[in-house]
Amino acid sequence: MAGCLAAAALLAACAQAPLRGTGDLGVVVERAAGRLQLVETTGARIIGQVPGLGDLSHASVVYSRDGRYAFVFGRDGGLTKVDLLRQAIEKRIIQAGNSIGGAISQDGRMVAAANYEPGGLKVFATDTLELLADIPATYGDGKKSAKVVGVADAPGNRFVYSLFEAGEIWVADLSDPKRPAVSKFRNIGKEPYDGLITPDGRYYMAGLFGEDGIALLDLWNPAAGVQRVLDGYGRGQEKLPVYKMPHLRGWAVAGTHAFLPAIGRHEVLVVDTVGWKESARIPVHGQPVFVMARPDGRQVWVNFAFPRNDTVQVIDAPSRRVVQTLKPGKAVLHMEFTPRGEQVWISVRDDDRVVVYDTASFASLKELPADKPSGIFFTTRAARIGF
Amino acid sequence: MAGCLAAAALLAACAQAPLRGTGDLGVVVERAAGRLQLVETTGARIIGQVPGLGDLSHASVVYSRDGRYAFVFGRDGGLTKVDLLRQAIEKRIIQAGNSIGGAISQDGRMVAAANYEPGGLKVFATDTLELLADIPATYGDGKKSAKVVGVADAPGNRFVYSLFEAGEIWVADLSDPKRPAVSKFRNIGKEPYDGLITPDGRYYMAGLFGEDGIALLDLWNPAAGVQRVLDGYGRGQEKLPVYKMPHLRGWAVAGTHAFLPAIGRHEVLVVDTVGWKESARIPVHGQPVFVMARPDGRQVWVNFAFPRNDTVQVIDAPSRRVVQTLKPGKAVLHMEFTPRGEQVWISVRDDDRVVVYDTASFASLKELPADKPSGIFFTTRAARIGF
């Protein structure tokens, strides 16, 4: 009888987590509630919630290579491993005082957290969240520590990131986690505030807060050092008011061109990635925040800074024209495409909802309730470089 | 007590299929045995087998968008839906007399089978395998039916394919499965024998058996019609003996260049995808069969036709030099990269094994036993266009 009860209890646990694939799952971050909504894109529906994740403002998420676990980097230094199948926290640690994001290694064995306070990069095992490596961001006389920003994964189990106060880009090779090999690129420009890696893992770019331009590192040719490109990029001569510094992760690469938010202007810049020169400017509705390519690169979707943040525009990539203007609602914060791009999910913070659009017809397909939603992250990111 | 037994029975079923993510799963086709080996790339190991799939020579596989189900297109016209989690056949139908491959729609709701005998495209619901649409490949006076080859998915729930005897490319829009809208491009060249779509879903290309050159359709500009490119591509003037017609799906697109097998020559061709002109030829070990780019595009891996099919070579994409020659064993048939490219799995038919290589060090990491393995297909394909 005891065996029967045990079997029944196990069965109950089993029944609570039915078998299912993880390729169509994702999370919506509810920033104020410190909670994740778990979603499934096939049915465009919410399948559960996981609360208790602390301060989730500016939270970012990466996925285990099997798509089962989300690693959530919170602003409060929390690193939480969430099981999407059991809909529960697997493990949660407070790894720093203040964190700005993270990345997962190519082999899926390590997650790296980029920290503000204290500055530095911490690397954890994905299975246990055990600390594997702690790389301080010391610079200058070796007594000062910089904020680490813009961490991205690169092929070869490397993490690439920028040191804000130091004006440096570091490449940490974690092939042997016990002996990280760090290459440092100095004098790359003043105050790098964010970074991204191109979808092919080749170029790392850091945006500069302290001056104009972008610092560019070709990871296929690191001996060439960091180059300065797009000298006009940044606040520019006119010192326009900037309502929100755009995320560099919001850049889109479609074919041989990158589409990126102009800073302080109602424009999207088009840059030829062969030579990294500006080739066009597209007038848009407001100051762009995220400029994201649909997975096939045919469309580029743009959201905007306050006070024009009720709108999303769609640019046709080959003709470089705005072909659609949508009004999802008050305070559009983030967008995420389904794996093959037939839908886009848009978080509308002040209307407490996520709106799902068909990217071919631009029809609104569904609205899902969410409490002040911000980032949306689908498991497809597990299989992609630089996410 | 009966309830207890029922609970125990259910529990046993539950225990047989433990909860797990599907992002790191895949199958290895055992062609002669009509069986799939189910594999997991995180541990580089075999997790099970599913037999009873009929004739699997030249079988191809696509995945449901959640990564749970494999759809296997057999040469014998069989279409089998396999559940990777329960490790069992979910449903199997014989849908035609002779089939050459298939594709899955962007929204994941339909699979399309390209048939030799009788010719035509059949479209099935992924949930039930119910027939949704049957599009005969009639041409000329409307009484003849062509073999359908080179079917690929395109954004907008379209399937693009070629008609061998007719020399036509058809684009079938299945947005409304009950009313397929078919656009026909005629006189595209003699005897298209295979086709592929570029990773961005923009270009469909058909190789021609009956003459030199490639038929190219720009799906972003279908009004321009089908263009002929690479006029020298094909058997060419010298009529070299061709041991095996290379698969067009074996083309690699890395950055702005495509790497493709020369037909009948010991060369890989490099083609500038802006203008589709040949820009270089790389001498290699034998007649190339598959020419595949690592997901980051930095490396291109090549296998070869009989009698040089014990070898694999690796080309460094930017320098266009062969940087490594490996000898995996007798009769290398196929290669598949892990989602972010840190490993490649290679099937070695006549040595009855799959060899897993580290793509950075070229070290052989593991050998897995398999009975005459041919195609290897990982679930990552679910999230990609043209797979």
- When CB atoms are compared, the residue of A19, A23, A360 closest to B156 is A360
Mean pLDDT throughout A172-198?
94
pLDDT score of B109 more than 70: yes
CA-to-CA dists, residue A183 to A162, A228, B120, angstroms:
12, 19, 57
- For A65-93, what is each residue's pLDDT tens digit? 999 999 999 988 999 999 999 999 999 99
SS3 A40: strand
What pLDDT sits at residue B1? 46
B212-223 per-position pLDDT tens digit: 889 999 999 999
Which candidate, B134, B20, B131, B144, places its Cα nearest to that of B85?
A: B20
Single pTM value for the model? 0.94
Model pLDDT, residue B60: 93
C-beta atoms of B14 and A11 within 8 A:
yes
pLDDT, mean over chain A = 91
Pairwise CB contact (< 8 Å): A66 & B21: yes
Phi/psi at A381 (5° precision): -55, -25
* pLDDT at position B283: 97
Banded model confidence at residue A263, pLDDT cuts 50, 70, 90:
confident
pLDDT attached to residue A237? 47
Task: Count the Cβ atoms, other than its own, within 10 Å of residue B152.
Answer: 26
**Nearest one of B250, B360, B247, B255 to B317, comparing CA atoms:** B255
Cα–Cα distance, A315 to A338 (Å, whole number): 18
Instruction: Give the pLDDT confidence of B141-178 residue by residue, as tens digits.
Output: 989 999 999 999 999 999 999 999 999 999 999 999 99
Q: In terms of pLDDT, which residue wins out, B244 or B354?
A: B354
In degrees and rounded to multiples of 5, residue A53 shows phi and psi of -100, 10
Cβ–Cβ under 8 Å, residues A23 and A379: yes
A131-173 pLDDT, tens digit per residue, is 999 999 999 998 999 999 999 999 999 999 999 999 999 999 9
> B114 - beta bridge partners?
B101, B121
Q: Which of residues 227-286 of A touch B (CB under 8 A)?
A: 254-256, 274
Of A64, A201, A384, the CB nearest to B21: A64
What does DSSP say about strands B257-261 and B267-272: parallel, antiparallel, or unpaired? Answer: antiparallel
User: Chain A, 13-32: which have a CB under 8 Å from a chain B CB?
Assistant: 14, 17, 19-25
pLDDT, residue B11, reads 54
CA A380, CA A383: separation in Å to the nearest integer?
6
Alpha carbon distance A227, A112 (integer Å): 26
Q: Which of A316-320, B15-19, B98-102, B178-182 has the lowest mean pLDDT?
A: B15-19
Compute the distance between CA of residue A324 and CA of residue A306 in angstroms, rounded to an integer. Answer: 20
B2's enclosing H/E stretch is: helix B2-16
The 10 Å Cβ neighbour count of residue B190 is 16
pLDDT of residue B125: 98
Averaging pLDDT over each range in A3-12, A105-114, A227-236, which range is the top one?
A105-114
Dihedral sign from CA coordinates of B38, B40, B43, B47: negative
Cα of B160 to nearest chain A Cα, Å? 16
pLDDT at A306 (0 to 100): 94
Question: Cα(A205)–Cα(A193) distance, rounded to whole angstroms?
Answer: 11
For residues B294-298, average pLDDT: 93
Q: What is the C-alpha separation between A250 and A292, in angstroms, rounded?
A: 6
Q: In 3-state terms, chain B is what percent helix, strand and coil (to 5)?
A: 5, 50, 45
Helix A2-16 vs helix B2-16: crossing angle, to nearest 10: 50
Average pLDDT over residues B304-326: 96
Rounded to a whole number of angstroms, the distance from the CA of A80 to the nearest CA of chain B is 18
Provide the ipTM: 0.93
CB pairs under 8 A between A and B: 175
Interface residue of B66, B83, B198 to substitute, partner A, most A CBs within 10 Å: B66
What is the chain A residue with the closest CA to B384?
A: A340
Confidence of residue A13 (pLDDT cuts 50, 70, 90): low
Cβ–Cβ under 8 Å, residues A63 and A84 = no
CA dist B361 and B357 (Å) reads 8
The answer for A 97-136 residues in CB contact with B (under 8 A) is 106-108
pLDDT given at position A100: 80
Determine, for residues A155 and B384 on separate chains, whether the beta-carbon distance falls below 8 Å.
no
Set of chain B residues whose Cβ sits within 8 Å of the Cβ of A380: 383
> pLDDT for B240-249, tens place per residue?
555 556 667 7
Task: Using CB atoms, pick whichever of A22, A202, A274 lies closest to residue B23.
Answer: A22
